[in-house]
Structure 1
Amino acid sequence: MYYLVYIPLYLLSLLPMPVLYLLSDFLAALTWHVIGYRKKVVLDNLRIAFPEKTEQERRAIGKKFYRNFTDNFIETLKLLSASRQFITNHLKLDSDPFPAFYQEGRKCQLHLGHNFNWEIANVVMPFYTSYTFIVVYMPIKNKAMERLFRHLRTRTGSVMLPATDMRNAIVPYRNTQYMLALVADQAPGDVSKAYWLNFFGRPTPFVRGPESGARVGDIPVVFVQLYKVKRGYYRAYLEVGADNPRELPEGELTRRYIAFLEKAIRQHPDMWLWSHRRWKHDWKPEYSKMWIGQEPLP
């Protein structure tokens, strides 16, 4: 089954990018106008995030989002056969704070969101750092697709650790110098134990793991914003969120990251993954002890 999936997709990845982008344009139009994949979720999320915008403006963001969404798929597909030069040409770093931490013998964490194209960022980072680059990811239930994406994501040297078994999977690397990439805008499984704070003006739960791991190990944290320069070409804006997270009050690192994330989304609203129901959980008074927002309790 794996090769029935892999071989056709690999052959498709050999096509030049202009041809692949024609396919992306077709898929975007099909998804937006015909299939309407999660269209209601996307538009509902945009209404929550941007109540000040007109419906026409929000739909324009939604339409651009769908093209970025299908571009993300096509560009990820291209990575099956892309050369090192192709990959490094398509994502550059605005700055490089990592050598200083590395020379000090310290580990490092990256906190990023679902901004396009995170798959290119995953495969390019081993070329840009001396660290062992480790990414925490959610395994795909389909075995053939899981094997395909593990091959794609690890072909340049990235190490993939399943979020479902993170505690055991990280053990072989605990005494090594690694950079750990965490998608920190994930919706938590248990919202009663999550951090709660305002995100686009609405109480929202966020996972505690990225902050707690950084605080326990006093690991420097770098926030990452991916943005598009032109079609297919991206840059990563890097900002040191905390040199010594252990010195911060609990919740402060998460507050800083969410402020960074919201600002990044407002700057490039069509670049975030709006098809996830980010505000599906309602605030309840019993979550009060987990409120870390600087505003009064909801």
Structure 2
Amino acid sequence: MKAVFSKIGLALVYLGSLAPWWAIRIDASIFAFWMTYVFRYRRRVVKGNLNRVGAENVSLYKIYRNFSLLALESMKLFTVSKRRAVMQVRFENFELIEELYSKGKSVVLVGGHMANWEIFSVVFPNIVKHKTYAIYKRLNNKVFDIAIKKSRSKTGMEIVEMNELKSLFETGHNEPILCSLVFDQRPRVAKNARWTKFLGVETPFYSGMEKIALRLNAAVVYSAITRDKSGKYTMKFHLVEEEVFKVEEGEVLDKCIGILEDEIVKAPHDWLWTHRRWKHTRPKGVELHDRKFTKFNGWS
């Protein structure tokens, strides 16, 4: 019965994906109003996160509008064409990616849960010379898991589940590859994470991007995403480290956290505040690593 309801839900998602981009922006505003003032969707989680990091003045309506845009635009990706998806995005410092390819250098492309990171999985394989991969965390719902993998890989992006990373390392790559991942999700096991300060609060992080970069001898590039008033997106590339094996453990993560904090301070409503990012507390005996390379300077 669960599978039947899932298939019905998926059919509705496909139907919703046929809405034009302008209608999505209108719908997002309507949904945001209802979530903010009527349903109060995950209000306790959102307010708790904001209070924890000292960002109480961030607009709840704008947070829910960003969430609504992300949800509706992610639905749109099920049926959007490559040509139309490309029209929604632009890139800054793209020559960095091309330069790394010309050096024969693979890339680990990392970013945070800012604005809509999903749309770039459809666009990226069309514009880069690298063979593209996305690190993916399997969904519990099998019907939606299969559908999302299909929609994200339809333009050539290969989806690699987190428990299948070994196969990525063991595969011989004749050409440089680009492996993308979102690095600011909450680790499942707090004691195995790397703990440091994020937005002034003790926070656990996966350290996987450094390990992947070392295994692939890849450069780490940060992708900062912004959304303009027309609903289009810009991805700006920052070189974090070209030779990861030359720096100390944790330096790459530290620098990525610093860039993400700058993004959030500039557009706080565009981060995903609806998730329980600070669910875990640091276990006794687990080290808190100092930020040696970047610092959070507050919300001013």
- Output the TM-score relative to the length of structure 2: 0.89
Q: d(CA) in 2 for partners of 1:173 and 1:260?
A: 32
Matches within 5 A, 1:245-284: 245-284=244-283
Match of 2:31 in 1: 27
Could you report, residue by residue, the CA deviation over 1:83-116 in whole angstroms, capped at 9, with x for unpaired residues? 2222111111111111111122221110111112
Gaps of 5+ in 2: 294-300
Match of 2:297 in 1: none
**SS, match of residue 287 in structure 1:** coil
2:36 pairs with 1:36:
no
Kept after mapping to 2: 8 A contact 1:5/1:144: no
Match of 1:65 in 2: 63
Task: Give the direction of change, closer, same or farther, for the CA distance of 1:249–1:274 in structure 2 (3 Å limit).
Answer: same
**SS, match of residue 85 in structure 1:** helix
Match of 1:197 in 2: 196
- Identity, in percent, stands at 27
**SS, match of residue 224 in structure 1:** strand
Q: d(CA) in 2 for partners of 1:264 and 1:22?
A: 25
**SS, match of residue 111 in structure 1:** strand
2:85 pairs with 1:81:
no
**SS, match of residue 209 in structure 2:** helix
Q: Give the superposition deviation at 1:13.
A: 2.1
**SS, match of residue 236 in structure 1:** strand
Task: Give the direction of change, closer, same or farther, for the CA distance of 1:5–1:176 in structure 2 (3 Å limit).
Answer: farther
Match of 1:188 in 2: 187
Task: Give the direction of change, closer, same or farther, for the CA distance of 1:7–1:283 in structure 2 (3 Å limit).
Answer: closer
Kept after mapping to 1: 8 A contact 2:190/2:283: no
Match of 1:126 in 2: 125
Q: d(CA) in 2 for partners of 1:204 and 1:3?
A: 37
Match of 1:294 in 2: 292
RMSD over aligned Cα, in angstroms? 2.1
Task: Give the direction of change, closer, same or farther, for the CA distance of 1:231–1:46 in structure 2 (3 Å limit).
Answer: farther
Could you report, residue by residue, the CA deviation over 1:188-225 in whole angstroms, capped at 9, with x for unpaired residues? 22222221111111121111111122134331010111
Q: Give the superposition deviation at 1:179.
A: 0.2
Could you report, residue by residue, the CA deviation over 1:89-147 in whole angstroms, capped at 9, with x for unpaired residues? 11111111111111222211101111120111111111220111100011111121112
**SS, match of residue 132 in structure 2:** strand
Match of 1:148 in 2: 147
Match of 1:11 in 2: 15
Greater fraction of residues in helix: 1
Q: d(CA) in 1 for partners of 2:83 and 2:116?
A: 17
Q: d(CA) in 1 for partners of 2:30 and 2:162?
A: 34
Could you report, residue by residue, the CA deviation over 1:251-292 in whole angstroms, capped at 9, with x for unpaired residues? 11111111111111111111111111112222345112x624
What amino acid sits opposite 2:26 in the alignment? L
Q: d(CA) in 1 for partners of 2:47 and 2:201?
A: 16
Task: Give the direction of change, closer, same or farther, for the CA distance of 1:294–1:101 in structure 2 (3 Å limit).
Answer: closer
Match of 2:163 in 1: 164
**SS, match of residue 198 in structure 1:** strand
For these two proteins, the number of residue pairs brought into alignment is 288
Match of 1:93 in 2: 91
Gaps of 5+ in 1: none
- Output the TM-score relative to the length of structure 1: 0.89
Q: Give the superposition deviation at 1:39.
A: 1.3
What amino acid sits opposite 2:212 in the alignment? G
Task: Give the direction of change, closer, same or farther, for the CA distance of 1:82–1:100 in structure 2 (3 Å limit).
Answer: same
